[in-house]
Amino acid sequence: MPAAFPLVLLLLYGFARSKAVSSARTGVKPRVAWVCAPIINIKYGSEALRKAGYFSRTVVFGTSAITDRPDFDLYRYDLVALYRRFPLTLVIEPYIAFLHLLVHFDVFHFFYDGGILLNTPYAFLELQILRRFGKKVVVMPYGGDVHVLSQMRNPVYKFGQLYHYGRFAVPGMRFRMRRIEYFSTHADCCVGSAAFDSLYRWDLLPVSYLAIDTALFRAPADYRYESDGMNAPVRVAHTPNHRIIKGTEYIAAAIERLKSEGFQVEFLLLENLKNTEVRRVLEHCDVLVELLVSGYGLSGIEGMALAKPVVSNFQGDTSALKYYSYLDECPIVRADFESIYDKLKWLIQNPDVRRELGEKGRRYAEKYHSYASQQIIWDQVYRKIWHGEEVDLMLLFHPLLGRYASLYQQHIATAAN
């Protein structure tokens, strides 16, 4: 069967159906689909939009080591199961899934590694097809989708990538570069992040667009900032998914050194655990160490939301984030492989500092990584790409202009009423 045949038939049907069910753009919220790597953050983004009145669903290929089946709304095989009565379903499975999404959604959130048509002859036509039907696309990096070895300016990060993914990284490099170029050319909005070595373009530059349900992440009422490593143990948590990239051995060595000096330190190494299990442990830790090569990830956000001091790294040129985003507000303690011992010792000895940093971290997480922040950010994006309003996304987080701060205060005031 020619590759074009199933898609042509389905698109003809889809054209008629989408005309019948598409949303009017003026004054109507777009229907949003988050497709399709099983990254836990899309669950939070979609939930945030639903709370704001959007029809929003996550659609993924499968689960990951840290996610469960109920974390996401739809799986591609769920979409295909709706049409099992048709012949040749397996042959046209991705096209059926694509058609379903085309009919039922208006705005698509993709990662740079592709959408529903990824493994078809139309992988590099998906966005053009969506555009022909009046759909809009937001593309966001999550990590592995934009890791291109030849573009990495940080040799430590490059070493970690080669260690963990060497046999895949080099052969897949050209494909990732092609995907990045493709999405940068055809997406309606490209979202940047702290690690943007390989990104060709961004229209919105948060330090990180990741978010969580901060209502679920709160320090327990009985938690106390009293231990100084001498009067009681200090619990240091670390959540590596890639030990070499996150410097796990250097963290462990620093803790062993502190123990040899008489400090009571418990090292909580949290690996291959479900997100719910990690949260339970982090609630009763005293310090969370991420120590990524650049920026912070979901674990760091969870730590800040739980009012824990977080230690991480910001190697490389962060001037764009400093001058045009909110990096200077970030309360994360910055350390690298060499300074991790000194920073940990300082935090262990000073419970009052931990309390202050924890309180600042909680406020920071609420402001920039909560459901409220997601509702503000995506509302601004949809105003521009779906409703056609004049919205300057590039300067949304400019620290001197204060646009995001103003929107956040308005949002909080409205929610309070």
Residue 331 is classified by DSSP as: -
The whole-number pLDDT of residue 154 equals: 79
According to the model, what pLDDT value does residue 194 have? 77
Percent share of the chain, pLDDT over 70: 87
pLDDT: which is higher, 317 or 332: 332
The reported pLDDT for the residue numbered 70 is 77
Query: Average of pLDDT values for 212-239?
Result: 92
Upstream peptide bond of 285 is cis (omega within 30 degrees of 0):
no
Q: Is CATH 3.40.50.2000 the classification given to domain 234-368?
A: yes
Strand partners, 138: 109, 189
Give pLDDT, residue 1.
Answer: 44
pLDDT value, residue 83 = 57
Residue 399: count of CB within 10 angstroms of its CB = 15
Number of alpha helices (DSSP H) and beta strands (DSSP E) in the chain:
16, 12
Average pLDDT over residues 260-284: 90
Q: What is the pLDDT of residue 24?
A: 43
> Do 291 and 311 touch, CB atoms closer than 8 A?
yes
Looking at the whole model, is its pTM more than 0.75?
Answer: yes
**pLDDT number for residue 291:** 83
Q: What is the DSSP string of 127-178?
A: HHHHHHTT-EEEEE--STTS--GGG---HHHHHHHHHHHHHHHTTTHHHHHH
Residue 10: per-residue pLDDT: 57
Statement: residue 150 has pLDDT above 90: no
**Phi and psi of 137, rounded to 5°?**
-125, 130
Q: Is pLDDT at 14 greater than 70 in this prediction? A: no
The DSSP line for 1-51 is --THHHHHHHHHHHHHHHHHHPPPSTT-PPPEEEEES--HHHHHHHHHHHH
Q: Does the structure show a pLDDT above 60 at 306?
A: yes
Residue 27 pLDDT grade (very low, low, confident, very high; cuts 50, 70, 90): low
Q: Report helix, strand or coil for 107.
A: strand
Three-state DSSP string of 191-220: ECCCCCCCCCCCCECCCCCCCCCCCCCCCC
Q: Does 261 score more than 80 pLDDT? A: yes
Q: Which three-class secondary structure state does DSSP give residue 237?
A: strand
Average pLDDT, the chain: 86
Say what the pLDDT of residue 89 is.
Answer: 55
Name the token pair of 257: 């050194």
Label residue 20 by pLDDT band (50, 70, 90): very low
Contact criterion met (CB below 8 Å) for 102 and 18: yes
